[in-house]
Amino acid sequence: MLFFNPRFSHGELKFACDTADVLFKVSHVSQEERTFAFLSPELEINGEKRGRFAFRSEGGQRTLPKGWSEFDVLFISAGEPDIYLRVTLRSYFKSPILRMKLRFTASAPCRLTKSQGKDALTYFGVQIPEEGIASLSELSLSHFNPLAGMYQPHLEMFDPAEVFDGQTFNGPLMFLEGDERTLLVGYEHGADAPQSFLRFLLEDSQERSALFLNAVSGSYLDGQEIGPEQAFETPWFEIGVLPGGLTEMLPRYRRFVMNEICTHAASREHLLTYSAPRQGLSPEQLLREAEIAHRLGLDVFVVDMPRRAEDLNPLKAKLDEYGMRLGVRLNPQALPASAEWRMTRAGDALPAVEGNVPLCLVSDYADHLAQTMMRLREEQGVTVFQWTGVSHDAVCDSPLHHHGSEAHTPQERADAYRFRLMSALQRVAAQVCERYPDVLVDLDVSSPQRPMGLGFLAAGRYSLSGTSTVQASRQALNFDPFIPTSLLPAPVLAEDENALATLVLGGNSLTGRLSGLSEEVLSLWTESLALYRRILPEVSAAYPRRRGWIGSSPEVHEKIVTDKAAGVVAFFTVSGGTFTHLTQPMDLSSLAEVRGADAWEMTHDGRLKITVTLPDGGARAVFLLPRQEA
């Protein structure tokens, strides 16, 4: 049954679809009159621009498992033919941040076109409020830093006087700070800066001032059909409105990424992982490493995928004995499979990967990959998959796959491949995880030209396995104010004396030869990880505070849940010395023990004053352990 109420609530947001020339207005439930206006999508149909979508009806609400719900709103752009728009809003409990997907159909068969030779699609716009905004901010995630050996985030804040008409922003997140409220808009995809498949555009003219999200390339094929039975769907977008400013929005968005963007609970488990070295370990040596990993209290043991899956069986038997999980690293484009799924590139055959010609994930090969992963789960008990080598460097322009036909140019097919790669990865991960909820999928983005962004966080995690030093691994902590470090694990080398203090800041991943560690070091790791496990959920949840920068003397990281007095303070230094750190206020009545400090004291205002003495190049983790409930 269709309902025709143009005003409704979803999560902690209120929507109104009863204003002319506006798709909807949105506000936080506590500030109903302070709205942000979203403008209609525009797309090119049969060579003509179509937009001005008007509210038609509510489409119904669905309750999903474990706290999620979806709400559909239907719109129409009247014409020949009529174009229908279904906006799906997904929320987690009473959240102020929602996910949104657009789905277009038509009353009669028609085609998406590119009369100017490029994508002609605006996903939505946001009007700048008449009273103006205090600031406009862009959060980017896909700048690869070769010195750090990993992608790095960057939050750029613009005063209204510093922006101009026609300015573009790659995002994927934009924040508009208004009158005692902040709007977040973003998209879930992935690229390598300065490339992007979607881009924000600021229009600032006498007629209007608005921020639009436009397609750049690959979002659809020229002549792609839509109709009553043929839909065109967009990636997921994100909308959030919260009272206050960026200071309030960023911690709330971090919680959204940790708990709300992904429905696969296994990807958010608090797991301590060991990644065995990629080369040089015999089956017997792997069993020895597994024995030590068990002693340290680790949860997951990851190895390279062998040529024969049954070669995993002895290791799996040992891990079962220890109560540990088995993970494998594999290139998802390099499994033995039919030649019809091979990737092609105009005029140049792609090199073989691990002895196999790379295979196209935007083809029926994706189903073969999912079936292979499910078989590894069923027969070898693999529950953690780490995908490596997925890159935009390697493209496919085959006219036989799902990214274009002979009717499209090689370049258009290649662009469509790049754009659709993220949704293909998401779809495979979702297919496997829905069948086996205990499965976790990581996507390695430790090299440039990876599909880095928000997209895969809706299906699993990213991993940063290419770092060479512990200090380089700590560069992943730059993501922590926006995306929890546990969702971008950068393994630390066990033999590095600073590795422990780095791991317990939330990365939770260890590599190197455990059997080469001394008994003294193994004892330290065992004792410290036992303490860390007691506060692991709190460290993951805590919003980070930092004194200094990575490589400074000192460099201090604080991750504390204040109402529990639980967490960790980690000290690092290049030059030795005695360092004192004053924490944020907390409920000290919940504190049971402080471990790792040379000296500490409570202050009158509920803080801890912690002192450590470190040698040159030293590090120390100080654990704040709460009282345990009876």
Beta strands in 190-322 (DSSP E): 198-204, 209-215, 224-226, 232-233, 237-243, 273-275, 300-304
Three-class DSSP category at 526: helix
Q: Which residue has the tokens 């190895």?
A: 303
Residues 282 and 317 in one domain: yes
CB 572 within 8 A of CB 588: no
Q: Which of 401, 429, 463 is the last residue of a domain?
A: 463
CB 359 within 8 A of CB 334: yes
Residues 308 and 404 in one domain: yes
CB 367 within 8 A of CB 385: no
Query: Is 490 within the bounds of a domain?
Result: no
Query: Is 112 within the bounds of a domain?
Result: yes
Q: Which of 25, 59, 483 is nearest to 261 (CA)?
A: 483
User: What sign does the CA torsion over 435, 438, 439, 444 have?
Assistant: positive
Three-class DSSP category at 76: strand
What is the pLDDT at residue 276? Answer: 92
**Residue 287 to residue 42: CA distance in whole angstroms:** 58
Does 194 sit behind a cis peptide bond, omega within 30 degrees of 0 on the bond before it? Answer: yes
In total, the chain counts a number of residues equal to 630
Q: How do the residues of the chain divide into helix, strand and coil, expressed in percent and rounded to 5?
A: 25, 35, 40
Residues 455 and 549 in one domain: no
107, exposed or middle or buried, with CB in 10 Å at 0-12, 13-18, 19+? middle
Query: Is 506 within the bounds of a domain?
Result: no
**Residue 555 to residue 549: CA distance in whole angstroms:** 6
Q: State how many domains the chain has.
A: 3
Q: Which of 494, 470, 503, 495 is nearest to 574 (CA)?
A: 470
DSSP string, 237-272: EEEEEEES-HHHHHHHHHHHHHHTS---GGGGS---
87, exposed or middle or buried, with CB in 10 Å at 0-12, 13-18, 19+? buried
Query: Is 488 within the bounds of a domain?
Result: no
Residues 305 and 250 in one domain: no
Residues 551 and 581 in one domain: yes
Three-class DSSP category at 547: strand
Residues 117 and 176 in one domain: yes
Q: Which of 438, 463, 488 is the last residue of a domain?
A: 463
Q: Which tokens is 230 given?
A: 């043929």
Q: Which of 320, 322, 303 is nearest to 311 (CA)?
A: 303
**Residue 148 to residue 130: CA distance in whole angstroms:** 42
Q: Which tokens is 168 given?
A: 């573009």
Cα 153 from chain centroid (whole Å): 12
Q: What is the pTM of this model?
A: 0.94
DSSP 41: P
CA-to-CA dists, residue 610 to 498, 551, 556, 576, 622, angstroms:
19, 20, 11, 16, 8
- What is the CATH number for 285? 3.20.20.70
- What is the CATH number for 557? 2.60.40
Amino acid at site 393: D
Q: Which of 159, 166, 152, 157 is nearest to 203 (CA)?
A: 166
Query: Is 86 within the bounds of a domain?
Result: yes
Residues 324 and 439 in one domain: yes
Q: Which of 38, 13, 37, 53 is nearest to 130 (CA)?
A: 37
- What is the CATH number for 164? 2.70.98
Residues 254 and 294 in one domain: no
| Residue spans of the chain under pLDDT 50 | 1, 346-349
Residues 563 and 621 in one domain: yes
Q: Which residue has the tokens 């936080």?
A: 28
Q: Which residues pair with 571 in a beta bridge?
A: 556, 620
Residues 369 and 233 in one domain: no
Residues 558 and 606 in one domain: yes
Give the residue ranges of DSSP H helices in 436-541: 470-473, 499-502, 519-541
Query: Is 495 within the bounds of a domain?
Result: no
Task: Determine the structural domain holding residue 367 and report its residue range.
Answer: 265-463
Query: Is 527 within the bounds of a domain?
Result: no
**Residue 440 to residue 554: CA distance in whole angstroms:** 36
Three-class DSSP category at 174: strand
**Residue 472 to residue 468: CA distance in whole angstroms:** 7
Query: Is 185 within the bounds of a domain?
Result: yes
What does DSSP say about strands 273-275 and 509-511: parallel, antiparallel, or unpaired? parallel
What is the pLDDT at residue 1? Answer: 45
What is the pLDDT at residue 524? Answer: 94
What are the tens digits of pLDDT across the range 88-103?
999 998 999 999 999 9
Q: Which of 463, 485, 507 is the last residue of a domain?
A: 463
What is the pLDDT at residue 466? Answer: 66
CB 61 within 8 A of CB 70: yes
Residues 238 and 311 in one domain: no
